[in-house]
Amino acid sequence: MRSRRVLLVGYEDQDNLGIRYLSSRLLADGHETRIVAFGNDPGPLLATIEEWEPDVVGFSLIFQYMVPEFGAVIRALRGAGVDAHFTIGGHYASFSPEELLRQIPELDSVVRFEGEETLAEVVATLDTGAWRDVDGIAWLDGGAAVVNPPRLGGSPIDELPEPDRRDVDYRAQDLPTASVLASRGCPWKCSFCSIITFYEANGTKGRRRRDPLKVVDELEGLVRGRGVRLVLFQDDDFLAGGPAARRWAVQVADEIVARGLHEEMRFKLSCRSDELRPELLEPLIEAGLCHVYLGVESGDPDSLVSLNKLLEVDAHINAGKILRELDLTFDFGFMLLEPWSTMGSARGNAMFLRDFTADGWVVAGFCRTLPYVGTPMEQRLREEGRLVGPALDAEYRFLDPRVDLLWDFCLMAFEGRNYGRNATWNLLRGLLFDTHLDLPGRERDLGRHTAARALVRASNGVMIDVLEAALDLIEDGDATTVDDPELLELARLARREDTLIRRELATMMLEGRRESMYEALFR
Amino acid sequence: MSNHFTTAGKRYREGTSFPGFGALDVDVSAPTTIDQIAPAFLPDGTTQRGFLFWDTGRRITNLRHVRWTFNHLPDWTNWNATAWYGVGGNGPPQPLVGLDAYWVGQGTLDPTPIDGPGSSFVNGPGAGNTAWPWMGNDHEVRTQWGPATIRALDHLRRSVSDPQLDFSSLMTLIFGGDDSSVFNENDDGLGSSGGVVTGIAATTAQTLSFAQNAGATVMAGYVQPVASKVKFPDSLIELIDEAVLNHLVFTNVDPSPDDLVRLKLIVESIDLVRGERVSEDVFSGLVDAARGMSKAELTRTIAGTKATLARGEAALKSLQAIQAKAPTKVVSAPVRTLGTGQKAAAKRKTAAKSKTAATKRKTATKRKTSTRKR
């Protein structure tokens, strides 16, 4: 087989493990690869292509909303005469290949779902043109999209080489941080999430966990070979899978301790509220667990049903209590509104946020549920005839127009506080994490942490006060449009206070030692 | 003695001198009119720079041709104007409006001039699809999802040590400049400026609108407010009267009542010179005012007061954290050489200290039930 040059282009955020696994898989077949970060300016990418002359350029599309940006860059490259094979992958690409090919007809192929084996086969068959017959791809035949049968079986995760991290200089980072994937898939069927449908499309079931020894081998290489001190487990749910998964997690923890890695690094994981148990967390903490991302999503019973979370609000409260008692920092995802939200469920969520975050241990923030392609929620909204707008940005309106008004108000009042890469919510989460972190050789900064918690209390408090005041105005019928003077004044108050909080936050961050952590970890 | 008028070219945003520009250096001894047309494009090494805007000395304009009319020479001494040149962008146009701020007579300003609450944007459907600030950049507005109406802030300040500036103008920049007309500048109204060329506030609309998918670079100009004339004698008399009426002047202690009066006067004078209002205590009159508030106003006031207190608590905790870390007063002690016994004791002490940390990890090491089988 002829060795090919493959350039992999992806949005780099906490390591793009997707393209790093693709790269290592291609390297194992004897191909040459390079990884470059995606940017809106096609100039640097074109310069790399002209200098290195790849046979294939693979784009990793993580975010559905970035399709126009990817389209613009791909068109610019074709316009500049690049004739390499262009392929693309990711969740949106997997679920909507026809639409994506319609939007970006300059693409030659779409690699759907887990892509390591599929891409390897496409690259191997480029010479003969047989790539068009590869399972798991979609391509354009004379302008018409052809979707080949899916590749069944999923990638053999214990046989895959470790992700290609050749281009990352961890030691140059203020806090050398690497992402690791210890499993793929998720057994839960939350209505807003496409993880299960993504992996089941390959014919696999539930969550596939890697051999704990291989996971810790990877950690050891990163910590002792590359100087990594913080590991972010990017598993969608590190503890999912019942008793067997819990045993597996403890095996990973024990192996970390057995090799003494807990003396050299800390790690973070993500999970659900109802999976947390003190007896499970204790060995993980001993092994270096320092932070948990909790998929709370809602604190209202009706919304939890709509989201198919299959748990009660008490599970969240209990999880928060356990984490505080074990002195673990955490943050959580929260959707104030989902397509079937009512004013009552919104108020329930606001009350939950107030109780859950009152002590400043955790930052309150929220978004609303989006109907991402491939999710049961998108399917249900489609069936109910509620999806509006272009396929790429399919939208819905709430059943009660007052909830629409509430959301419009939230965008107006909390833009910059809750949303955006540099949002106050993100910065505060980073600050709490940083001031609480105790790494070997670096003591926890309790004074700064106490100050950070006070600032978080201030930010949480004003956001929830404003939210509840807006709920009152809208529910009472006092405000019926987003430009209502009282709503405008409330929004001004929220934004003014947020500006002041950010000023105070800036002084705390300057006082700290590694501002870059906030950028790297919490976006 | 004649007045002095100069023009110069500068690189945007670096602010470095751009020697390729045909600078003027003119002595002005009688009322006169001076014209200059800035070239649309000029080479800068291997790069081509385009005209962006003029700082005429009192305002900014994107017109290349400026005509200065000087009729009031006794009112000023030196007049400097600057033509700014920038480098064009690469790649396809983006649905993005970028705003920058400029202090007339001084240079670029880093804070964003965008008045968020006073503007309107259309966000995209995703949680990260915030039109402003776009990707966390509060100088940029994304127009991909709908039109935007952008309002410039009333005031801007470069840093805490600088004065608060007033809005002057808002305009879309054109790479290579605008040739459609002539911009007329003059020295009218400088009579009370003490010989300094002062900027002019509020010369254009404070709002610009952009259609969906529009892209533009916009400059917001700000000027230092004209200093108010401080009536020292009147202020002094009022303050002394007030002090006497309130029986403040009754004894000579340190600081004496005279000192207090002078101090108060100086503080007020500085505020007036900076063009600022004297600030009031945040809580003064709050409760009185609350009696006349509507329910909604009261709700907001309570939320705002709670937030202020909470921020104050955070500031207090920060101060305490800094205090805890502050080095204690160093007392010089005579240098002593440790004997062998003392050295061993010190070593034991250090070992005992590190043992505390080690013991913590020992619990974990006890769990060494390795699953490794190889």
Return d(Cα B223, Cα B228) in angstroms, integer: 15
Tokens for A11, please give them: 């949005």
Q: What pLDDT sits at residue A511?
A: 56
Q: What is the mean pLDDT of chain A?
A: 92
Range name among A161-170, A420-429, B20-29, B236-245 with the lowest pLDDT average? B236-245
Distance from the Cα of A461 to chain B's closest Cα (Å) equals: 7
DSSP letter at A275? Answer: G
Question: Which regions of chain B are under pLDDT 50?
Answer: 228-233, 244-245, 247-258, 260, 272-282, 329-374
Q: What pLDDT sits at residue B152?
A: 94
Average pLDDT of the segment spanning A146-154: 91
Q: Which of B154, B157, B299 to mutate to test the interface with A (most CBs of A within 10 A)?
A: B299
Q: What pLDDT sits at residue A360?
A: 96
Q: What pLDDT sits at residue B341?
A: 37
Q: What pLDDT sits at residue A457?
A: 96
Tokens for B28, please give them: 């002005």
pTM reported for the whole predicted model: 0.66
Give Cα A493 to chain centroid, integer Å.
31
Q: What pLDDT sits at residue B367?
A: 40
pLDDT tens-digit series, residues B205-243: 999 999 888 889 999 999 987 754 444 445 555 555 555
pLDDT band of A291, cuts 50, 70, 90: very high
Q: What pLDDT sits at residue A11?
A: 82
pLDDT tens-digit series, residues A445-496: 888 899 999 999 999 999 999 999 999 999 999 999 988 989 998 998 898 8
Average pLDDT of the segment spanning A302-331: 97
Report residue A43: phi and psi, to 5°.
-55, -55
**For residue A437, with 0-12 CB atoms within 10 Å meaning exposed, 13-18 middle and 19 or more buried, which class applies?**
buried
pLDDT band of A185, cuts 50, 70, 90: very high
Instruction: Say if the Cβ atoms of A457 and B117 lie within 8 Å.
Output: no
Instruction: Say if the Cβ atoms of B126 and A262 lie within 8 Å.
Output: no
Q: Report the residue from B307, B321, B371 with minimal CB separation from A447.
A: B321
pLDDT for A7 beyond 90? yes
Average pLDDT of the segment spanning A435-442: 87
Q: What pLDDT sits at residue A521?
A: 59
Average pLDDT of the segment spanning A345-366: 97
Average pLDDT of the segment spanning A169-195: 93
Q: How far apart are the first and last CA of chain B?
A: 94
Q: What pLDDT sits at residue A247?
A: 97
Q: Which residues of B48-67 are buried (b: 16+ CB within 10 A; e: fewer)?
A: ebbbbbbbbbbbbbbbbbbb
pLDDT for A443 beyond 90? no
Cα A157 to Cα A114, A180, A491, B323, distances in angstroms: 10, 13, 49, 52
Tokens for A126, please give them: 């480029």
Which of B21, B105, B103 is CA-nearest to residue B57?
Answer: B105
Sign of torsion, CA A102 A105 A108 A111? negative
Contacts of A250 (CB under 8 A, 6+ apart): A280, A283, A284
Q: What pLDDT sits at residue B248?
A: 47
Q: What pLDDT sits at residue B374?
A: 29
CA of A284: which chain B residue's CA is closest?
B364
Residues in a beta bridge with B299:
none
Q: Which of A257, A438, A472, A519 to mutate to test the interface with B (most CBs of B within 10 A)?
A: A257
Which of B61, B10, B6, B62 is CA-nearest to residue B34?
Answer: B6
Distance from the Cα of B127 to chain A's closest Cα (Å) equals: 6
Range name among A412-426, A498-512, B27-41, B90-104 with the lowest pLDDT average? A498-512
Residue type, B345: A
Please tell me if residue A174 touches chain B, with a CB cutoff of 8 Å. Answer: no
Q: What pLDDT sits at residue A366?
A: 96
Q: Assign residue B105 a region (left: φ > 0; alpha: ψ between -120 and 50; beta: otherwise).
A: left
pLDDT for A519 beyond 80? no
Give Cα A362 to chain centroid, integer Å.
19
pLDDT tens-digit series, residues A71-125: 999 999 999 999 999 999 999 999 999 999 999 999 999 999 999 999 999 999 9
pLDDT tens-digit series, residues A15-52: 789 999 999 999 999 999 999 989 888 999 999 999 99
**For residue A412, with 0-12 CB atoms within 10 Å meaning exposed, 13-18 middle and 19 or more buried, which class applies?**
buried
